[in-house]
Structure 1
Amino acid sequence: MKRITQGGAVSGVEERLRALFVRGLDGDAAAYRAFLDDLTRHLRGFLRKRIYYLQDDIEDVVQEILLAVHNSRHTYRPDEPLTAWVHAIARYKLMDFFRARSRREALNDPLDETLDIFATSDEEPADARRDIGKLLDQLPERHRLPIVHVKLQGLSVTETAALTGMSESAVKVGIHRGLKALAAKIRGTA
């Protein structure tokens, strides 16, 4: 949809399309069909220049624009250029297409590939171990040892009780109270 020039070829296209469209609005079905056929050819050219890298999608976008033109035909004001009105509709439909395409692509992105960028830090495990170690060092041994053995090393409560000389219930209480104390330290309320 090029800008209308005085006496140029585009002006002739504007006049032809406008005449067919207005006759179609007045009930001339053949004129309206001719308008849609001509407009389809112009829209394909318009879109081939703008989304040349998405040739497979051009026909879908053309159909969306034609449908919007048809559904909005009552909004056209005959004293305004038809091409400007159609261009505005086409521009909005093209933006809708890009929004829908980006949502579709985002939904199709495998999460594993996206999250790989966060899984390759060299410093993160060492930093986390150091930070946890500092926090655990602030706990009394009766809380620290059960957390280290059960939560970090993966031993069972029974194994930890045998290793530390504590009762199984003391190991469970130590984990519970220790984790509660760690949470308070992290929040800054301890």
Structure 2
Amino acid sequence: MITVTSLAQIPAGGEPAESPEALLVAAVLRRDRKATAEFVSCCSDWIYPVVRRGLMPRTDMVEDVMQEILLSAWRNLASFRREAGLRSWILGIARHKIEDYYRKRIRQAEVQEDDATAGDLAPSLQFDTPLDGTVDEDRVQRTLARLPEAYGLALTWRYRDGKSLRDMAELTGKTEKAIERLLARARESFKKRWNDEQS
């Protein structure tokens, strides 16, 4: 069985002709099932924490997005450039797939205007202020998880990932004004749920 770890052992006679990653990729391209299983295992170990953090609080979507990443990597393996490194390459795919997830979900969101958000939209929480302690972080995750999906994604993209209004608008195909309104409604909904939990 060809594995990254077994291939990493350099024979006493000198350097191997190719890197362990290159040999693994070549074996996968030859449709070697054991190499493919090793490829999936290695890549899964690398991307899981990135995908989980990237989709927080939507951890129910982690497995689906990971499958998309692995399928995309497998389909595009012939274009893998060895100098980039397999881990860097697969993490790049993961970052793009996470952004695709956000982009699609925010684009598809049917955000309904309701009269409750017509009033003052200034949140009582400072979203740009870092939270202290895991208790607050856990509470934020719980609150985000209770929001409509588009709201949670928009707030996460804006405040955790630091996306600008312009970036969010370009990535979703919406206007900056539409993104501003979405964020205002999302902040108001977050504030209401945050305060409800505190009561």
- Bigger Rg, which one: 1
* Bigger relative contact order, structure 1 or 2 (CA pairs below 8 A, ≥6 apart): 2
